[in-house]
Amino acid sequence: MKLTIVEYPDKRLKEKSKEVKVFDANLHKLLDAMHPFMIETNGIGLAAIQVNHAIRALVLNLPDEEGEQHPENLLEIINPVITHKAGETTYQEGCLSVPKFYEDVKRYETVVVNYQDRYGNTKTLEADELLAIAIQHEIDHLEGILFIDHLSYARRKKFEKEYKRMLKERKSKK
């Protein structure tokens, strides 16, 4: 299965993703492709909508203290729902769908998430630190929300200006 990244300002990123109801080989094929794709593109988190599949599925693979990603740390999260949230934290976020841009975003410090695994089994995850931030970022994608949607008006305007210039520059090099 060949995947390509959907990049801002593509309207598909604003779509609300649909609940997964069938946990079949098609879902597994997509998840199996998303993981290596995310690693190859230097991502730590990827929502299905970012590879043009508007379903409520995401993968996460956070690096360890040495900055290395291990396959055994892969998380596959389907139909997530945040059931508890507390605290506040700010982190400089990026997104594979918004290449080369990083901005501070405020998130809950800890979240509890109910979700399903690839077989439809119900799970609960208590997340803090980078995992809590990453999960909130990816769940936003399922609602059609990007990290740049959290910026102040002034920061967003600055971003749009710089991003447009970057796209123009990239186009001229093709």
Binding mask 56-95 for Co ion (x = CB under 5 A): ---------------------------------------x
Could you give the CA distance from residue 59 to residue 57 in angstroms, rounded to a whole number?
7
Binding-site partner at residue 35 among ligand QAP, Co ion, none, CB < 5 to 8 Å by type: none
Toward Co ion, which CB reaches closer, 23 or 54?
54
Q: Which two tokens stand for residue 142?
A: 């399922």
Looking only at residues 26 through 55 of this chain, which bind ligand QAP when binding is defined by CB under 6 A? 42-45
Which of the residues 76, 93, 103, 138 is marked catalytic? Answer: 138
In this structure, which long-range contacts are made by residues 161-166, counting pairs with CB atoms below 8 Å and at least 24 apart in sequence? Answer: 162/101, 163/8, 163/98, 163/101, 166/100
Q: How far is the CB of 96 from ligand QAP (least distance, A)?
A: 5
Contact with ligand QAP (CB under 6 A): which of 13, 48, 49, 94?
Answer: 94
Task: Work out whether 113 is an interface residue with ligand QAP (CB under 6 A).
Answer: no
Which of these, 38, 143, 20, 169, lies nearest to 97 by C-alpha position? 38
Percentage helix, strand, coil, to 5, in the chain?
A: 35, 25, 35
Could you give the CA distance from residue 89 to residue 106 in angstroms, rounded to a whole number?
6
Residue numbers at the binding site for ligand QAP (CB under 6 A): 42-45, 91, 93-96, 99-100, 130, 133-134, 137
